A and B are shown apart, each in its own frame.
Chain A
Amino acid sequence: MELTSAQPKMRIYLAKLLANSSSTDDVLQEANKVIWTKRADWDPTTPFLKWGYRICYFQAKAFLRDQQRDKLVFREELLDLLASEVPKEAPLQKLEETLILCLRKLDLAKRKLVLNHYDPDVSFSSLALEQGITPNALSQKLRRIRHRLRQCMESSLSPHSTP
């Protein structure tokens, strides 16, 4: 149960260490196997995620050792720096609710664009064609929208945001 609910957070943590490599899910699966094998080692009086992050860290290092030829791999110093900065503990459900509120502040066309971008059945090129812009221009447009969404989330989740 703990392992299931920890999956989204562990995935974000691994994606951070692996420079958002397309192998993130493979490493997560490896980490899950290790967690399952070593489940008896977890002290239930301590936070499960903290233990899970530690195992993810070692799995990420093992993966990166095997991927030395890949140019897009973080240097070890940066990897350790990123690993030491533990993500904040806002529950995924709260992040979803906040992001939905922020999305609803966009006009309808932009909401549809962002959601379609994350729809696995919609290709990036068809989305650009539908928008009547080049893929490069679409990338920039999506970056701007998501940057603003991130700003909106940050201000909504800030402790000073409540009246």
Chain B
Amino acid sequence: MTPAEELVWKLVDQSISPEEFDELQELLEGSSSLRRYYQDCLETKQVLSSIASSKRHRSRVLMDLSKRTLLLSRQHIWTGLAGLLCGVLGTTLVQSAVTSKMESLSRKVIPLLSDPFEDPSETSRQGFPREKGIWSHQRQNSLASGGAIQGEHALKIVAEEGQPLGSAYYLVDLQDFPSLAEFTSRKIQVSGQYCSDAGEPKAHYSIRIAAFAESPKEVGPIWADESELFTRKLSHVGRSCFKDEKNTEWTVLSSEMEIPEGTRTLVIGLGAGSGERNGSLSTHYLDDVSVRLLLHNEESAPSDELF
């Protein structure tokens, strides 16, 4: 922390002397970054006050360490009981059972979606989904040109002329999974297989995952407004790959993202197209889409401590 930043914090804490105040005025007048820092410190103070005065927020801030303590206590109890029951000879066997039990307590995988797109009659509405659990956009199930990966059908994605990608979207509402709060590490993992119509010179395939604090119904307008999207998303990852015309095989693409605290809705976007803004109409296929939640409790102290 620089001396100027120290003066800013003194002002924020109302412990600045008149001489220091005069010095800070000079510094603030001459530095836009220090003025920004001053604004940020006031903001931090306000948000800290808000968190400290909310019982819910306080418990969330203090939560995960107490969970670790509970987890370790259980481990100690199990280990102690094991020793008493089985004595020295049985200890090795029981220890492995304990480890297995603890492993199941600290890790969990929740499959959210495994879609082979085998119902050709199933279509969905245009545009971004307004509710959770359904695919949307210009999708329609169709027989893939090179044969589907699973079953006979695949999801057809058409990238319109002038559009770099056509995308299918899917929303997950985390309110449906209250047990998530029990885990310190929560990830979403998405994978899918892509291919393109014979004759497409090249293709760009992508997976996007984004997290929002808002409900599924509220995410649509945010997604449509780039500036809102920029400020409101809690987290976002994107993964892409490119395929040239020589490659006619199905391409596997996967991506995962740590789910931030406070996430209500996850948006999954699977896209395919030429990848060029002036691209011509192109047809692509998607199959064997899988979405999972990977949950994990860390038993040790956090490795990414700030201090």
Contact = CB atoms under 8 A, between A and B. Distances in A.
A103 B44 CA distance: 12
A100 B25 CA distance: 32
A123 interface: no
A92 interface: yes
A5 B29 CA distance: 31
A145 to B, nearest CB: 8
Interface in A92-136: 92-97, 99-108, 110-112, 114-120
A87 B43 contact: yes
A85 interface: yes
A68 interface: no
B213 A94 contact: yes
A74 B25 contact: yes
| Interface size of A as a range | 35 or more
Interface residues of B, number: 61
Contacts of B231: 88-91, 94
Contact of A96 (B12, B21, B50, B257): B50
Contacts of A92: 47, 50
B84 interface: no
Contacts, number: 159
B306 interface: yes
Given A118-B48, A118-B53, A148-B307, A103 B39 contact: no
7 contacts: A90-B231, A96-B57, A104-B61, A105-B302, A115-B48, A143-B9, A152-B306
Interface of A: 8, 11-12, 15-16, 19-20, 22, 71-72, 74-75, 77-78, 81-82, 85, 87-97, 99-108, 110-112, 114-120, 139, 142-150, 152-154, 159, 162-163
Given A150-B37, A162-B237, 14 more contacts: A8-B46, A20-B11, A20-B42, A22-B14, A82-B38, A92-B47, A104-B261, A107-B305, A115-B48, A116-B52, A117-B52, A146-B41, A150-B40, A153-B40
Interface of B: 1, 5-6, 9-16, 18, 21, 25, 28-29, 32, 35-53, 57-58, 60-62, 64-65, 213, 230-232, 234-237, 257, 260-262, 301-302, 304-307
